[in-house]
């Protein structure tokens, strides 16, 4: 499949309460590479990512999400998306190159759920990214949960349908799957892809805007999800639920919390998506099975805790 326009999630910037406490969690337990630090920020990437960074932690007085960046194919795409966003009634802001270390100019916008997004085309390559000449699987042995890359985020807010509409109409995302209250027609969960992954971002209905439900990191296999569970137990990391499997996306998963209370996920599998696929849909009466395919039930913490 030819990927044009928006290619993939590029980075996420999250707030943490104590940067010194957060760094070992993301570096040693999840297994990200610490790229560097600058003031109140620390930059990370997965071992299988070429770009300089994909995760930014910012020390702040409350946890949560600052913004998410999506990488586009060409710098000229930014002008096109600026026009399309404005045509849908979305205000845009241009951020000069270099405002974020190693990143070119960015196009910034907000959606009805209050979340902030950047589109960008250029980021410096990592000095020690994946090998490209007679490449081994990795430069040095991965550690911790062996996170390959930043995979996706799920965001909470009120008008999830309005936010999803912008991604579909202005940015050419596809809705792969959704959770619907069929009696009222209300869409409670909307899963969107700009690639052939089951989802690159999800919007989940919630009572407050600008919240993040979880940040997800790609693992290679179900065995690695089990390894993540062993690490969570060994180091007394706060577990939410899993290991288990989703009905929606079919992904294999375990959820846990960082020291600041931000929910993390490590995720493997999931179906391949192509634009000609029919949309998958779940009724709200099957929400338990849709989210946790084995347990067929939702726990209160998963539904109510976000940052």
The SS3 call for residue 22 is helix
Which candidate in 25, 152, 177, 213 is catalytic?
152
Longest CA–CA span in the chain (Å) reads: 57
Question: Is position 152 annotated as part of the catalytic site?
Answer: yes
Which candidate in 26, 120, 150, 255 is catalytic?
255
| Sheet with 251-257: strands ordered across | 239-245, 251-257, 263-269, 211-218, 149-157, 201-205, 186-193, 174-181, 280-283
Question: Is position 139 annotated as part of the catalytic site?
Answer: no
Which candidate in 100, 150, 265, 273 is catalytic?
265
Question: Is position 213 annotated as part of the catalytic site?
Answer: no
Neighbours of 52 (CB within 10 A): 20
- Phi/psi zone of residue 112: left (φ > 0), alpha (ψ -120 to 50 degrees), beta? alpha
Q: Are 206 and 306 in contact (CB under 8 A)?
A: yes
Burial 234-249 (b: 16+ CB within 10 A, else e): eeebeebbbbbbbbbb
Question: Is position 59 annotated as part of the catalytic site?
Answer: no
Which candidate in 100, 120, 214, 273 is catalytic?
214
Question: Is position 199 annotated as part of the catalytic site?
Answer: yes
The SS3 call for residue 199 is coil
Which candidate in 25, 53, 199, 213 is catalytic?
199
Tokens 């007394």 belong to residue: 236
Query: Which residues are tagged catalytic?
Result: 152, 199, 214, 246, 255, 265
């Amino acid at each position: 499949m030819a990927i044009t326009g928006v290619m993939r999630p590029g980075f996420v910037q999250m707030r943490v309460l104590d940067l010194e406490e957060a760094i070992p969690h993301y570096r040693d337990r999840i297994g990200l590479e610490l790229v560097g630090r600058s003031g109140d920020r620390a930059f990370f990437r997965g071992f299988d990512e070429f770009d300089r960074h994909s995760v930014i932690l910012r020390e702040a007085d409350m946890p949560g999400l600052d913004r998410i960046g999506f990488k586009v194919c060409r710098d000229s795409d930014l002008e096109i998306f600026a026009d399309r966003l404005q045509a849908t009634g979305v205000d845009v802001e241009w951020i000069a190159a270099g405002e974020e270390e190693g990143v070119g100019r960015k196009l910034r916008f907000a959606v009805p759920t209050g979340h902030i997004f950047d589109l960008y085309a250029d980021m410096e390559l990592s000095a020690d990214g994946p090998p490209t000449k007679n490449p081994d699987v990795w430069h040095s042995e991965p550690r911790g949960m062996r996170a390959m890359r930043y995979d996706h985020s799920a965001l909470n807010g009120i008008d999830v349908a309005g936010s999803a509409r912008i991604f579909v109409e202005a940015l050419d995302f596809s809705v792969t799957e959704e959770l619907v209250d069929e009696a009222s027609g209300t869409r409670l969960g909307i899963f969107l892809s700009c690639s052939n992954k089951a989802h690159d971002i999800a919007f989940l209905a919630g009572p407050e805007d600008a919240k993040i439900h979880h940040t997800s990191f790609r693992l290679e296999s179900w065995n690695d999800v089990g390894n993540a569970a062993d690490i969570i137990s060994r180091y007394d990391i706060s577990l939410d639920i899993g290991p288990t499997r989703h009905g929606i996306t079919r992904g294999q998963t375990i959820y846990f919390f960082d020291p600041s209370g931000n929910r993390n996920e490590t995720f493997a599998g999931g179906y391949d998506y192509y634009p000609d696929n029919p949309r998958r849909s779940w009724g709200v009466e099957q929400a338990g099975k849709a989210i946790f395919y084995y347990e067929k039930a939702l726990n209160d913490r998963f539904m109510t805790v976000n940052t």
